[in-house]
Amino acid sequence: MDSKFESDSKSDFLIIGGGISGLSAALALEKYGKVLILTKGNKKSNTYYAAGGIAASGPWSDDFEGHIQDTIIAGDGLCDPEVVQTIIHKGTERIKDLLEWGVDFDKRSATQFDLGKEGGHHTRRVLHHEDLTGKAIIETLLGRVASCPNIKIRPEQVAINLIEIDGTCSGVYVLDQNVGKIYTIQAKAIILATGGIGKVYLYTSNPDVASGDGIAMASRIGAEIINMEMVQFHPTCLYHPLAKNALITEAIRGEGAILTDIRGKRFMEGIHPQKELAPRDIVARAIDLVLKETGDDYVLLDISFKDAEYLKKRFPGVYETCMKFDIDFTKQPIPVVPAAHYSCGGIKASISGATNIPHLYAIGECTCTGFHGANRLASNSLLEGIVCGHECGEEVGKKYGQLPLPNISLKEWSEKNITDSKEAFVISFNWAEIRNVMQNYAAIIRSDSYLLRARHRISLIHEEVDTYYWNFKITADLVELRNLLTVARLIVESALARKESRGAHYTLDYPQKGNVVKDTSIKRYW
């Protein structure tokens, strides 16, 4: 693909992000006009690494009400019941689309799916393809997109800033990593599908692309950002000095795995009736408390008492990952730690992605629709992504498809008096400091004193990064650093604003639930 674009590129519709929500929106939009998708790198988005599956109710698991109630219970008082009902009911048709397009969900027989059970679910309703569900879905959607002449994907493109004109989102500045040039794109509507914020923490299950770009860009033009304190930590990521972003799927606990400390003492039995299958926030906090009390670096996840051949067939991804580090989980426990996994907060958006900024839409993990509340139910993320992506594509297409592009001129990015930096270490040093500050002061267990320390350190980093940003040539690493810094500030300020413990937000100063504060809202921060 030619990477030398005109300085003022135009498209009917622009989607930033190529995960399940972005691709689903594109497939719904393409009948209404030309769709351009920008991606930072390859196909390995957060969706690609989604191992467990996609929770969905339909003929295969006729339990809509149970799914709704499990979602609301996990959300701990912050779910919007109407949103939950709508997404779960609309999910049936979207699953049928995936089946029609060729996603090969595992089956027990010719007519019966092999449904998984994960934390917070009271019955089996998780469709999966081995433990590589996200990979199977992404590859299917990409194949579908490739057959649509109205959809084009530009890889190696980094969105820098949204362009706001008279209160309306009119375009975006983009860095083409292939040639190192910055250009503009104008579109009738811009859809953010940029995924999560995991890289703001030292330990995360997310890939390197999860730097909170959409949330940061939207915040800078005045989009409402809510509930950013609700960062979900996955209880079980592989602990090994050479492992990176190695998620150990929750489905393993769904098949009977137990958690113990390194001395073999099981600790979930007295904490929650569902034991290891309690909601993620409860399991992650229990592990964190064990580590703090014992001083150990990790706990153990053990399913070695199950049949080895069954485990290899059911969890080939986990088996392959663990064996890279000489851990045979069919014979020994897996060392695990909690890691930042999913942002339940984000850009305030409707099911169809509408935000408070005209012509700006947002879908997927970068949003807060009210579906997940204070804590996401396992395997509900892919469901939200595919439903909201489709709904967004339909709404945007019907609303803007017949309208012409506004006759405006976007101001070009100025790099006058900007030089190449000879101090790139400033980026890597500040990136590392942000992640350490957030991991130590704003992670699973918080307090006002921790958060105030984080605020102070982040404000000092901000001064250095801001000076660097405006004086040296823009690079992808610098853009991501700036976005992570914005996200860190949003998380800390939102956490300070919530004077209670609820869902994924737990603070030592306010350990009980208070009166329900529906949203901690922050506008135009930095």
Phi-psi label, residue 510: left if phi above 0, alpha if psi -120 to 50, beta otherwise: beta
CATH fold of 235-338, please? Flavocytochrome C3; Chain A, domain 1 (3.90.700)
Task: Report the pLDDT averaged over residues 434-452.
Answer: 94
> Residue 111: pLDDT above 80?
yes
> Residue 3: pLDDT above 50?
no
Place of tokens 């890691």: 339
Q: What residue segments make up the domains of the chain, in order of their start?
A: 235-338, 425-519
The pLDDT > 70 percentage for the chain reads: 95
Task: Report the pLDDT averaged over residues 55-74.
Answer: 92
Q: What is the pLDDT of residues 119-148, one digit of tens each?
A: 889 999 999 998 889 999 999 999 999 999
Burial of 266 from C-beta contacts in 10 A (0-12 / 13-18 / 19+): middle
Instruction: Kindly report which listed range (84-93, 170-179, 301-310, 508-517) carries the lowest average pLDDT score.
Output: 508-517
User: Is 280 known to be catalytic?
Assistant: yes
Amino acid at 101: W
pLDDT, position 459: 93
Q: Mean of the per-residue pLDDT values for the chain?
A: 91
- 477 CA to centre of own chain: 19
The pLDDT > 90 percentage for the chain reads: 75
pLDDT, position 42: 67
pLDDT, position 155: 94
**Tokens describing residue 519:** 């949203």
Banded model confidence at residue 286, pLDDT cuts 50, 70, 90? very high
Task: Report the pLDDT averaged over residues 461-469.
Answer: 87
Tell me which of 2.60.40.10, 3.40.50.720, 1.20.58.100, 3.30.750.24 is the CATH number of domain 425-519.
1.20.58.100
Q: What is the pLDDT of residues 250-262, one digit of tens each?
A: 889 989 999 999 9
**Tokens describing residue 432:** 């590392």
Amino acid at 246: A
- Separation between Cα atoms, residue 526 and residue 521, nearest integer Å: 14
Q: What is the pLDDT of residues 160-219, one digit of tens each?
A: 999 999 999 999 999 999 998 999 999 999 999 999 999 999 889 898 899 999 999 999
Given 94, 125, 253, 280, which residue is catalytic? Answer: 280
Residues contacting residue 154 through CB under 8 Å, at least 6 positions apart: 1, 3, 5, 36, 37, 38, 39
Q: Is the pTM of this model over 0.75?
A: yes
**Tokens describing residue 75:** 């959300």
> Residue 524: pLDDT above 60?
no
Q: End-to-end distance of the chain based on CA atoms, in angstroms?
A: 35
pLDDT, position 416: 62
